[in-house]
Chains A and B, each alone.
Chain A
Amino acid sequence: MIIGLDMGGTHVDAVLIDHGKIIKTSKIPTEPNNLLESVWKTLKPLIAGVKPDEIERVILSTTICTNAIVEEKTAPVGMIIESGPGLPCDFLACGQENIFTEGYIDHRGREVSPINPAEINRASNAFKNKNISACAVVGKFSVRNPDHEIKIYDMLKNDFSPVTLGHTVSGKLNFPRRVFTSYFNSAVYSTFSRFSNSIVDALKREKINAKLYVLKADGGTMGLESAEKFPVNTILSGPAASIMGGQAFFNTSKDGVFLDIGGTTTDIAFLADGVPLFEPLGIKIGEYPTLVRALYSVSMGLGGDSEVRVENGILHIGPYRKGSPMALGGPCPTPTDAMIAQGLLDIGSKEKAVDAMKDIAGPLDLNIQEAASLVLQTMANMIKEKVDKLLFEINSHPVYTVKELLYGKKINPEFVQAIGGPAKILAPILENSFKIPCFYPKFYEAANAVGAALAKTTAEITVFVDTAQGTLLVPEIGLCKKIERNYTLEDAKLLAVELLSKQLSILGAEAGEIQPEIVEESVFNIVRGFYTSGKNMRIRVQAKPGLLYEMWGDKDA
């Protein structure tokens, strides 16, 4: 059996799944000041009557790191930044102490100027004087040659923990994002390790010996050990849980729109040929763009509890939530009131919901039913409009080859899938707006926990080969080796797949779920004068997000 647990800002959802069937679900409000207690209150009823050794896996989706950042309760970080020439570097300062150092690696990974050890010692003293124990070391082009970061690490490792090295967080090129990602990783490190220690202790107490996984923002899982090392990957994994949950109930190979409609917001995601779309580089944490691999998801301020008002004869919904719907004692009309007034939903006071619609109907010169249906139709239209805008942006993403420009894939949704509280009621209205079928799963309210429960292990690595210099480098796993001049793209691809498979099993994947795929491969001649002196290869291989199995018994309603 598998336990999936989604710890959101308002609720903790948990689900117990056995071979594709939901055995039990449980949901309690989150106590922001006692997250562990919230987890246990949710788990207790779920595992009542289940033998501890029947539970094989526990998968957590947690907002603990996200909250620590939002509440500014992260650890102070000492940053060592080797910025080389190019952009001015002051905007990269993100730690409590930021030391910009000498040294410079170029785009081929060649050392142009070395590190200065005296400078690193000064930085180390500055951190100690400020009682900073968490550090991060990031150099420009360190993914092409991590040597400087490693040398600096050797000088810091005995005095500081953690020391996040830029090249280990991602193989993608983007120095500012590498700086911010490394910063966040060090900043939330202690928060996450406290959390994971108490979870481990608590499971031990219940004699549950199951493997423990944590959900990442890319819709995949990693083992607890890896999460402890790279807690930054757990940040903003909430939307990933819901997207994966949606996938569990609806297996498709078509393009589609995925909506998670909540009380305050609606999260929008897309499927391309049935696979959720990724953020091209990584997620944004607060104001900072990072390299944290993540499923694409955009949140709009529009949900069941959004404020509805009429201004100058025009109906507005959102973007704020002023409180509960009026039917539940709230201060202003909401789409939920419209649903109740129309008799589509039976909660709270219908009388108050009708009153709420009067506020809308009056200034628009409509009757109650017309006003309520206008509210819901407007809500659906707003979602459609936002989806169209996002699709336009996605479909005009830059491409870099003639072939991609001429024959590039464009996303053209053939269906909408909605989850979340209002999903069921809004489905026919959305269908009318989008002019494509709109589905919602039977367990649309527990989809997040199901998504977490069934997510497979994901990982991505990048392989750089430079046969002119005779080097092969995989920054994410710190592999750097010499290769022969006649090394081919085929050799590199085989190695990439082998390395990723190994990496996946280190992360906790079981043999059956390891399916690496090559997502990028390119090879360029390196020409000196008019002669080819070598080849420059770039390969990216990933295990894309997927599910251990689908919910056969609980398909779409």
Chain B
Amino acid sequence: MLKAKNRLGLVFFPAFDWAISPTHPEREERLLYTQDQIFEEGINDIEGIKFYNPNIASNKDIERVHFCVPSVEDRATTSHMISAGGAIKAAEAVMEGEADKAFALVRPPGHHAQRVVYGDRGFCIINIEAIMLENLRARYGHRRVAIIDTDCHHGDGTQDIYWNDRDTLFISFHQDGRTLYPGTGFIDEFGGPGAIGYNINVPLPPGTGQEGFLYVLDNLVLPILDEYKPELIVNSAGQDNHYTDPLTNMNFTAWGYAELNHRLNPDIAVLEGGYSIEGALPYVNLGIILAMAGLDYSHVREPDYDPAKLKQPQKITEYIKELCETIYKRWRNKESIAQEIIKGKEEIIRKRNVYYDTDGIMEYQTQRFKVCNKCSGVNMIESTSDRGMPIFAVTIPQDACPSCIDEGYKMYKEADAQNYFRIYLQDRKNDIFFKRHL
């Protein structure tokens, strides 16, 4: 029988009884054919691969990451709590030394869920990777982590959550925001004042194939990881770059995903998007499982695979080469870019509108990041939506200095309840969450 080179923990939870709606891409049978493929290949009989049931995430787990308006119970369903709990279980298997690597094949996904949650964005309500990572930090200590988002959509939620955290390097590959939801993820989105340079976006042109993805990995991502030296690599493993995906325009293959995973060598992978549930998911997931287990994935191939059709045009190859050079230069120059941005400023203010496409809600948000030379700086969000419900939310970062802690509590106490529907304080230093309302 086969034996895995790496002990792999698999949390496979297809949630066969949950859907957004009967014909929605995020529906019951999204992982059905993946299950068929995994079962038929006999993955569960491979020595070293172990299947786990998900945990169920707690409200505390969610509140380390999000401000759910009005509350966690009102926004996240049990399925979301299980999906996040599945990611937590995967990480737990690795941290407890039961597995060398782990893959959470769970749904629904989470990488579009930002810090504030009024509703569903891109089928995401809570950010399952971030919830996993913060749970793991709370239990196993502070860690330098890189999250590599290989989903075809910009991981805007994860970007927002780690915007000001230099202990979490976030790199997102995605189809250029000018051509795809959510329309963000450009190279100048580079991190908040406490973490400038630690948020890296790689917007790729439609039609990017195997060659392009592996080029970005080898010439940009791996060199940056070499310099950043994360203690843990998480792959936000969306699979919608596949050439059969109905929502996107890329030309990536199942073998390509496996190869990318092999070269990236993540500790934990968490399934994100990917809606070609018959033509891609079974093969991509199998490829990733084999790559993570250290098994031979060279025979993983889609039924309609045709290398000639998927050949990447020379023009795209040239474009990606230049793009990588530009981004890598920015990474090397991040200190001077940072100095220029924060020079003489006490705070950095960002105003943005966030659209919840699945629920049709518009949010109007102002973020204020304190520039602090001792820590990454207390920060706050003032926000409201077109359905009302204005909120005021303060985050004290994990590395907060005493004066930022004091300032955070002061802001929370002094916020006038008359003006807001909810007032929140996320004290990440002490791992506590406060909430008040009229």
Residues of A whose CB lies within 8 Å of any CB of B are: 85-89, 91, 104, 106-108, 110, 112, 140-141, 172-177, 281, 287-289, 396-403, 405-406, 522, 524-527, 529-532, 536
| CB pair B303 A104 closer than 8 Å | yes
| CB pair A400 B29 closer than 8 Å | no
B295 within 8 A of A: yes
List the B side residues contacting A401 at CB < 8 Å: 15-17
B385 within 8 A of A: no
| CB pair A289 B45 closer than 8 Å | yes
Contact of A405 among B12, B13, B36, B40 (CB under 8 A): B13
Q: Please measure, in the bound complex, the distance between the C-alpha atom of A273 and the C-alpha atom of B41, giving whole angstroms.
A: 32
Residues of B whose CB lies within 8 Å of any CB of A are: 1-2, 12-18, 22-23, 27-29, 32-33, 35-37, 39-42, 44-45, 51-54, 56, 78-79, 82, 246, 278, 282-283, 286, 290, 295-296, 298-301, 303
- Least CB separation from A526: chain B residue: B29
Q: How far is the CB of B18 from chain A (nearest CB, A)?
A: 6
List the A side residues contacting B278 at CB < 8 Å: 107-108
Q: Please measure, in the bound complex, the distance between the C-alpha atom of A274 and the C-alpha atom of B33, giving whole angstroms.
A: 34
A87-B41, A174-B45, A525-B23 are contacts. A402–B14 as well, Cβ < 8 Å?
no
| CB pair B52 A398 closer than 8 Å | yes
Q: Please measure, in the bound complex, the distance between the C-alpha atom of A175 and the C-alpha atom of B12, giving whole angstroms.
A: 19
> Which among A287, A288, A402, A526 has the highest number of chain B CB atoms within 10 Å?
A402
> Which among A86, A173, A288 has the highest number of chain B CB atoms within 10 Å?
A86
List the A side residues contacting B295 at CB < 8 Å: 87-88
Q: Please measure, in the bound complex, the distance between the C-alpha atom of A174 and the C-alpha atom of B39, giving whole angstroms.
A: 5
| CB pair B53 A398 closer than 8 Å | yes
| CB pair B33 A399 closer than 8 Å | no
Q: Is the interface of A mostly helix, strand, loop or mixed?
A: loop
Q: How far is the CB of B242 from chain A (nearest CB, A)?
A: 15
- Least CB separation from A288: chain B residue: B1
Could you give 7 example pairs across A and B, Cβ below 8 Å?
A: A87-B41, A107-B33, A289-B45, A398-B52, A400-B16, A525-B28, A527-B27
List the B side residues contacting A402 at CB < 8 Å: 15, 17-18, 78-79, 82
Q: How far is the CB of A60 from chain B (nearest CB, A)?
A: 31
Q: Please measure, in the bound complex, the distance between the C-alpha atom of A338 and the C-alpha atom of B367, giving whole angstroms.
A: 77
Interface contacts beyond A85-B299, A398-B12: sample of 19 additional A-B pairs, CB < 8 Å, sorted by A: A87-B41, A87-B290, A87-B296, A88-B295, A88-B299, A140-B40, A173-B40, A175-B40, A177-B42, A289-B45, A396-B53, A397-B53, A398-B53, A400-B16, A406-B78, A525-B28, A525-B29, A527-B27, A536-B29
Q: Please measure, in the bound complex, the distance between the C-alpha atom of A172 and the C-alpha atom of B36, giving whole angstroms.
A: 10
- Least CB separation from A532: chain B residue: B23
| CB pair A107 B300 closer than 8 Å | no
- Least CB separation from A403: chain B residue: B17
Q: Please measure, in the bound complex, the distance between the C-alpha atom of A536 and the C-alpha atom of B33, giving whole angstroms.
A: 11
List the A side residues contacting B12 at CB < 8 Å: 398, 400
Q: Please measure, in the bound complex, the distance between the C-alpha atom of A216 and the C-alpha atom of B37, giving whole angstroms.
A: 29
- Least CB separation from A85: chain B residue: B301
| CB pair B23 A531 closer than 8 Å | yes
Q: How far is the CB of A526 from chain B (nearest CB, A)?
A: 8
- Least CB separation from B46: chain A residue: A87
| CB pair A175 B42 closer than 8 Å | yes
A524-B32, A536-B32 are contacts. A86–B41 as well, Cβ < 8 Å?
yes
| CB pair A176 B42 closer than 8 Å | yes
Q: Please measure, in the bound complex, the distance between the C-alpha atom of A530 and the C-alpha atom of B25, giving whole angstroms.
A: 8
Q: Please measure, in the bound complex, the distance between the C-alpha atom of A104 and the C-alpha atom of B233, giving whole angstroms.
A: 36
List the A side residues contacting B303 at CB < 8 Å: 104, 106, 110, 112
List the B side residues contacting A536 at CB < 8 Å: 29, 32
A107-B40, A402-B78, A405-B82 are contacts. A177–B45 as well, Cβ < 8 Å?
yes
List the B side residues contacting A85 at CB < 8 Å: 283, 299-301
List the B side residues contacting A399 at CB < 8 Å: 53
The 5 closest A-B pairs by CB, nearest first: A176-B42, A524-B29, A85-B301, A173-B39, A112-B303
| CB pair A527 B299 closer than 8 Å | no
List the B side residues contacting A91 at CB < 8 Å: 1-2
A140-B40, A141-B40, A525-B28 are contacts. A88–B15 as well, Cβ < 8 Å?
no
Q: How far is the CB of B45 from chain A (nearest CB, A)?
A: 5
Q: How far is the CB of B51 from chain A (nearest CB, A)?
A: 4
| CB pair A289 B1 closer than 8 Å | yes
- Least CB separation from A83: chain B residue: B299
Q: Please measure, in the bound complex, the distance between the C-alpha atom of A30 and the C-alpha atom of B22, giving whole angstroms.
A: 62
Q: Please measure, in the bound complex, the distance between the C-alpha atom of A85 and the C-alpha atom of B301, giving whole angstroms.
A: 6
A173-B36, A524-B29 are contacts. A107–B298 as well, Cβ < 8 Å?
no
> Which among B12, B36, B56 has the highest number of chain A CB atoms within 10 Å?
B36
| CB pair B28 A174 closer than 8 Å | no
| CB pair B300 A86 closer than 8 Å | yes
- Least CB separation from A179: chain B residue: B42
| CB pair B2 A87 closer than 8 Å | yes
List the B side residues contacting A107 at CB < 8 Å: 33, 36-37, 40, 278, 282
A86-B299, A527-B27 are contacts. A175–B41 as well, Cβ < 8 Å?
yes
Q: Please measure, in the bound complex, the distance between the C-alpha atom of A112 and the C-alpha atom of B303, giving whole angstroms.
A: 6
List the A side residues contacting B78 at CB < 8 Å: 402, 406
List the B side residues contacting A89 at CB < 8 Å: 299
Q: How far is the CB of B57 from chain A (nearest CB, A)?
A: 13
List the A side residues contacting B29 at CB < 8 Å: 524-527, 536
List the A side residues contacting B45 at CB < 8 Å: 174, 176-177, 289
Q: How far is the CB of A308 from chain B (nearest CB, A)?
A: 33
Q: Please measure, in the bound complex, the distance between the C-alpha atom of A403 and the C-alpha atom of B16, giving whole angstroms.
A: 9
Q: Please measure, in the bound complex, the distance between the C-alpha atom of A526 and the C-alpha atom of B29, giving whole angstroms.
A: 8
Q: Please measure, in the bound complex, the distance between the C-alpha atom of A140 and the C-alpha atom of B42, giving whole angstroms.
A: 11
Q: Please measure, in the bound complex, the distance between the C-alpha atom of A325 and the C-alpha atom of B55, giving whole angstroms.
A: 49
- Least CB separation from A284: chain B residue: B45
Q: How far is the CB of A105 from chain B (nearest CB, A)?
A: 10
List the B side residues contacting A141 at CB < 8 Å: 40
- Least CB separation from B21: chain A residue: A530
List the B side residues contacting A524 at CB < 8 Å: 16, 28-29, 32
Q: Please measure, in the bound complex, the distance between the C-alpha atom of A104 and the C-alpha atom of B304, giving whole angstroms.
A: 12
Q: How far is the CB of B276 from chain A (nearest CB, A)?
A: 12
Q: How far is the CB of A296 from chain B (nearest CB, A)?
A: 16
| CB pair B16 A522 closer than 8 Å | yes
- Least CB separation from B15: chain A residue: A402
List the B side residues contacting A140 at CB < 8 Å: 40
Contact of B51 among A87, A172, A398, A532 (CB under 8 A): A398
Q: Please measure, in the bound complex, the distance between the C-alpha atom of A397 and the C-alpha atom of B79, giving whole angstroms.
A: 19
List the A side residues contacting B286 at CB < 8 Å: 86
| CB pair A174 B40 closer than 8 Å | yes
Q: Please measure, in the bound complex, the distance between the C-alpha atom of A530 and the C-alpha atom of B23, giving whole angstroms.
A: 5
Q: Please measure, in the bound complex, the distance between the C-alpha atom of A396 and the C-alpha atom of B278, giving whole angstroms.
A: 29
Q: Please measure, in the bound complex, the distance between the C-alpha atom of A288 and the C-alpha atom of B40, giving whole angstroms.
A: 16
| CB pair B53 A405 closer than 8 Å | yes
| CB pair B23 A86 closer than 8 Å | no
Q: Please measure, in the bound complex, the distance between the C-alpha atom of A175 and the C-alpha atom of B37, giving whole angstroms.
A: 10
Q: Please measure, in the bound complex, the distance between the C-alpha atom of A107 and the C-alpha atom of B283, giving whole angstroms.
A: 11
| CB pair B53 A174 closer than 8 Å | no
Q: How far is the CB of A536 from chain B (nearest CB, A)?
A: 7
Q: Please measure, in the bound complex, the distance between the C-alpha atom of A307 and the C-alpha atom of B372, giving whole angstroms.
A: 71
Q: Please measure, in the bound complex, the distance between the C-alpha atom of A525 and the C-alpha atom of B19, giving whole angstroms.
A: 11
Q: How far is the CB of B287 from chain A (nearest CB, A)?
A: 9
List the A side residues contacting B299 at CB < 8 Å: 85-89
Q: Please measure, in the bound complex, the distance between the C-alpha atom of A281 and the C-alpha atom of B282, giving whole angstroms.
A: 21
Q: How far is the CB of A531 from chain B (nearest CB, A)?
A: 6
Q: Please measure, in the bound complex, the distance between the C-alpha atom of A532 and the C-alpha atom of B23, giving whole angstroms.
A: 7
Q: How far is the CB of B82 from chain A (nearest CB, A)?
A: 6
- Least CB separation from A395: chain B residue: B53
- Least CB separation from A111: chain B residue: B303
List the B side residues contacting A88 at CB < 8 Å: 295-296, 298-299
Q: How far is the CB of B83 from chain A (nearest CB, A)?
A: 10
- Least CB separation from B296: chain A residue: A88
List the A side residues contacting B17 at CB < 8 Å: 401-403
List the B side residues contacting A526 at CB < 8 Å: 29
- Least CB separation from B255: chain A residue: A85
List the A side residues contacting B282 at CB < 8 Å: 107
Q: Please measure, in the bound complex, the distance between the C-alpha atom of A176 and the C-alpha atom of B46, giving whole angstroms.
A: 10
Q: Please measure, in the bound complex, the distance between the C-alpha atom of A334 and the C-alpha atom of B33, giving whole angstroms.
A: 53
